[in-house]
Structure 1
Amino acid sequence: ARQFIFRMREFEQMEMQFFVRPGSEMEWFKRWKEFRLRWHKALGLGDEKYRYHDHEKLAHYANAATDIEFQMPFGFKEVEGIHSRTNFDLSQHEKFSGKKIQYFDPELNESYTPYVIETSIGVDRMFLSVLCSSYEEQELEGGDKRVVLHLPAALAPVKCAVMPLVRKDGLPDKAREIVNELKFDFSTHYEEKDSIGKRYRRQDAIGTPFCITVDHQTLEDNTVTLRERDSMEQKRVKVEDLHKLIHSAVSLNALLRKLA
């Protein structure tokens, strides 16, 4: 309709209904509000790009509601909503189904209709926020340029690319050997066409966090050059250390542990 995919005629939502004891809903609402913002910030897109928008006018069934807004190119827009929906949902199910929908609380020794805290996040809007924050056209020293996609490493489709410096002297064989070691745990790409610089640029443009270059020194001491996408820094590392280094950076588990 407008504003690219932010306003889709059909859209995808990821929702959660979290059931709580009546009277505790505001405490849980606050906890989920804070937890969801921490999740967004853990992606590393920039803490300053997020803000809360608390609702003053509430739906008839809600007693609290807030939006998490993200700074899109066209201003701050909602990407997720957190709502305290009281017991409206289950009581309506109970009313029209004619079935009792209650929970027996052994701590209180009584039954009640649970209250609901709902979180609802837009898939398309998350995609747009990640893409807008990640895409950059950089001016480099010497007048060179590059397009780089600073995707959060946990979300990058390709985690690493393995490249033989030249297509001879046994370097491709060694590179494929490394690919075969990494491919079971990471989406790993093999690149041998064009100069190493052009290959780096292609991987930068699709957001690959790491490039691994196999050269003649690799055959001597089993080390490779590990290049990091955002900083373009390069360092020599042992082949046996690659898995640990990449995993610590690209694992979704590592990202989620920041929230613990």
Structure 2
Amino acid sequence: MSQTVSMDKIVAFCKRRGFVYQSSEIYGGIRSSYDYGPLGVEMKRNIKDEWWRSMVYARDDVVGFDSAIIMHPKVWEASGHVETFNDMLVESRSSGRRYRADHLIEEATGMEVEGLSPEELTRIIQEDERIKDPVDGGRDFTPVRPFNLMFETYTGPVKSPENVAYLRPETAQGIFVNFKNILQTSRVKVPFGVAQQGKSFRNEITPGNFIFRTREFEQMEMEFFVKPGTDEEWHEYWIEERYEWYLRLGMNPENIRKREQSDEERAHYATRGVDIEYNFPFAGWSELEGIANRTDYDLKKHAAYSGTNFTYTDQATGESFIPYVIEPAAGPDRMMLAFIVDAYTEEEVAGEKRVVLKLHPRLAPTKAAVFPLTRKEPVATIARRLYEDLRGDYRVFYDESGSIGRRYRRQDEAGTPYCVTVDFDTIEDRKVTIRDRDTLQQERIPIEGVRERLKELISG
């Protein structure tokens, strides 16, 4: 990561290069809502594909799943979300702004107040004169009260209490309520996992920091069901496995770490939680992914509420038990921000400033760009044919506009790892030049070997 990088620079870069736009911008935008541009949608898809490949395709003990966004409201009663999925809200009477009470206190005093009751938080705000409204400096606050983060909606044509439903705040519960179905239809045996990707919705009081925290976001969660007594070993396994995944995709080890969750911040159903954190420029070390030991809490709760028997019987031993669950949970939006920040580099090459996004080739939105050195024939025709031959494998870009140096710079900034140039010599020797984005080294290879060479470079 460049020492000069800031969030303002990253946000401007993402818009300029077509990674992320403010949603509904022509109408003034809507807070904490973003659209993914041509490069952003490709990078986000690549992140999701890499996660799915490592979590599902590369293993024989994990299957995939996709649950509905709107489920029966009793799902969220059983999971505890209706009763306990709250942030503590406080409102400034002077400015009319609303804040998360714990954030307001922690930023003003440095105190750790996670897990305190509304009454305790109210007392701290009233008594500590360091706590002020960040907007106008006022100290006139309402009492702290819980604010449920679920988006409420209605099913059917009538807005009535019996038709209340919720947009899911997490993807995990869809897996738990389908545990028996998946077990019976997939012929899996404990230990096994169920992986899912999809949209979740949380009505955050104070979303912000670009795509780090939004009200509409995607999750990638895997529930790994294990025999009680083996859960600690499996938890440790998944902590290391997930940490190494980031390193394998090129993340700087100096910018990533594992951190044990405190008793106060850990979810009430978990015996242990470990966060993989990234050193973001806007807030320092912040959660990138969480790996929790959820015990048998979820299956037992849904069994009690639904009357369904979620007991698993080991056919080899005859032993019966409710499985424990190890859950690695992450989001491609937050991952994408971390990978962009980590890859953003400003450097000088031959006395000229170069902005380059040094993404791992498998994450890069565009894998290769094809350039004809000139628009004249037959160079342009050869380049166009090469482009058409390559583009079915992955996203490839064709550019014949401007000087070759300018075209290189545009692709460097977009994160494209390889540029292939067709020149006048290609007419005679049938060879092209492949340029590496990071090292700037070039190799000359036969045009017939470009496809295989790029596959080799990208998968390496």
TM-score, normalised via structure 1 length: 0.92
Contact 2:418 2:434 (C-alpha < 8 Å) held by counterparts: yes
Give the corresponding residue for 1:13. 219
Give the corresponding residue for 1:177. 385
Give the corresponding residue for 2:438. 230
Q: State how 1:117-196 maps to structure 2 within 5 Å.
A: 117-141=326-350, 143-196=351-404
Query: Which residue of 57, 64, 67 corresponds with 2:272?
Result: 64
Rg larger in structure? 2
- In 2, Cα distance between the equivalents of 1:59 and 1:158? 39
| Identical amino acids, percent of aligned pairs | 46
- In 2, Cα distance between the equivalents of 1:217 and 1:68? 50
- In 2, Cα distance between the equivalents of 1:83 and 1:108? 28
More strand by share: 1
Report how far residue 161 of structure 1 moved.
Answer: 0.8
Q: State how 1:43-82 maps to structure 2 within 5 Å.
A: 43-57=249-263, 58-73=266-281, 74-82=283-291
Contact 1:154 1:249 (C-alpha < 8 Å) held by counterparts: no
Task: Name the aligned partner's letter for residue 21 of structure 1.
Answer: K
- In 1, Cα distance between the equivalents of 2:209 and 2:388? 43
Contact 1:153 1:159 (C-alpha < 8 Å) held by counterparts: yes
Contact 2:211 2:334 (C-alpha < 8 Å) held by counterparts: yes
Give the corresponding residue for 1:31. 237
Alignment partner of 1:102 is 2:311: yes
- In 2, Cα distance between the equivalents of 1:181 and 1:133? 32
Report how far residue 188 of structure 1 moved.
Answer: 1.2
| 1:151-193: CA deviation from partner (whole Å, max 9, x where unpaired) | 2210111111111111113001100111122111121111111
Query: Which residue of 86, 91, 94 corresponds with 2:300?
Result: 91
Give the corresponding residue for 2:458. 250
Give the corresponding residue for 1:3. 209
Change (3 A) 1:59 1:189: closer
Contact 2:250 2:359 (C-alpha < 8 Å) held by counterparts: no
Task: Name the aligned partner's letter for residue 254 of structure 2.
Answer: E
Structure with the larger RCO, 1 or 2 (CA within 8 Å, 6+ apart): 1
| Larger displacement relative to structure 2 (240-249 or 27-36) | 240-249
The runs of 4+ residues in structure 1 deviating greater than 4 Å are: none
- In 2, Cα distance between the equivalents of 1:135 and 1:177? 32
- In 2, Cα distance between the equivalents of 1:102 and 1:203? 55
Contact 1:163 1:213 (C-alpha < 8 Å) held by counterparts: yes
- In 2, Cα distance between the equivalents of 1:149 and 1:60? 40
- In 2, Cα distance between the equivalents of 1:235 and 1:249? 12
Task: Name the aligned partner's letter for residue 438 of structure 2.
Answer: D
- In 2, Cα distance between the equivalents of 1:60 and 1:207? 42
Contact 2:255 2:279 (C-alpha < 8 Å) held by counterparts: yes
Report how far residue 120 of structure 1 moved.
Answer: 0.6
- RMSD in angstroms over aligned alpha carbons? 1.4
| Larger displacement relative to structure 2 (82-91 or 151-160) | 151-160
Change (3 A) 1:108 1:46: same
Report how far residue 211 of structure 1 moved.
Answer: 0.5
- In 1, Cα distance between the equivalents of 2:313 and 2:219? 31
Report how far residue 238 of structure 1 moved.
Answer: 1.5
Report how far residue 97 of structure 1 moved.
Answer: 0.2
- In 1, Cα distance between the equivalents of 2:323 and 2:349? 57
Helix, strand or coil at the partner of 1:85:
strand
Structure 1, unaligned runs of 5 or more: 255-260
- In 1, Cα distance between the equivalents of 2:363 and 2:457? 11
| 1:49-70: CA deviation from partner (whole Å, max 9, x where unpaired) | 1111112304332111100011
- In 2, Cα distance between the equivalents of 1:118 and 1:25? 11
- In 1, Cα distance between the equivalents of 2:373 and 2:243? 43
